[in-house]
Amino acid sequence: MACIDNREVYISFLRKHLSKERFFHTLAVEREAIFLAERYGVDTYKASLAGLLHDCVKGFSDEELIRLARSYNIPLSIWDLSSPQILHAPVGSIFAREYFGIKDREILSAIWKHTTGDKEMSTLDKIIFIADYIEYNRDFPGVSHLREIVKRDLNSAILFAINLTVGYIMRNNLAVHPKTIEVWNYLIKEGKSVLNEIYT
């Protein structure tokens, strides 16, 4: 398994391949993920590594992401082909395994699911998904409320985040990714009073 001693290797790779803003975003996601891991009783080492590497291939071109996805046998949907940057999550997960030697399935899962979420998510998956939304550089309407909700309940925070995203998507006549709907339905079924949490 990759160890924290490799941190310099990861940082050096990220510095080289990410924009300055994306690099600092990555460090901020790692910090938020550790904070949430402590709060929700998840392994902070795994949260740290998943946060640090979640966008490891975000600097790659569309062509490179499609090429890597094909070489990793990742099924390409029409969504992936029309917006190849969405592939940075699954491609990043397998890249982390192949390039950095990370074998931990929970870390790889969290990287894989961080953009769209999935119909089944572990607590670590949820932490990375929401840390990506609320890290301290993020500034959008609703983010302060989202930061408050996440202190109380992860599911509610994800539902509120989806609510904000879908609102933006619909106001701008964009398409909603089917995974987003799956995650919404999954959390609504999984939760009991989560909707009350969102609006209180």
Residue 58 Cβ, how far from Fe ion at the closest point, in Å? 6
Element at 68 (helix H, strand E): helix 62-71
User: Residues 87, 66: contact at Cβ < 8 Å?
Assistant: yes
Stretch of 65-73, 74-82, 126-134, 167-175 lying at the interface with Fe ion (CB under 5 A):
126-134
Nearer to Fe ion by Cβ, of 104 and 132: the residue is 132
Q: How far is CA 182 from CA 14, 174, 188, in A?
A: 31, 17, 10
Residue 135 within binding range of Fe ion, rule CB under 5 A: no
Shortest reach from residue 115's CB to Fe ion, in Å: 5
CB of 196 vs Fe ion, minimal distance in Å:
29
∠ at Cα 137 (146, 9), nearest 5°? 120
Candidates 13-21, 40-48, 64-72, 129-137; binding stretch for Fe ion (CB under 5 A) = 129-137
* Residue 135 beta carbon to Fe ion: minimum distance, rounded to whole angstroms: 8
Q: Which of the stretches 47-55, 98-106, 141-149, 163-171 binds Fe ion when contact is defined by CB under 5 A?
A: 47-55
Work out whether 132 is an interface residue with Fe ion (CB under 5 A).
yes
Between 32 and 132, whose beta carbon lies closer to Fe ion? Answer: 132
| Minimum CB–partner distance for residue 168 and Fe ion (Å) | 17
User: Distance (Å, rounded) from C-alpha 126 to C-alpha 117?
Assistant: 8
Is there binding between residue 55 and Fe ion (CB under 5 A)? yes
Residues that bind Fe ion (CB under 5 A): 55, 132
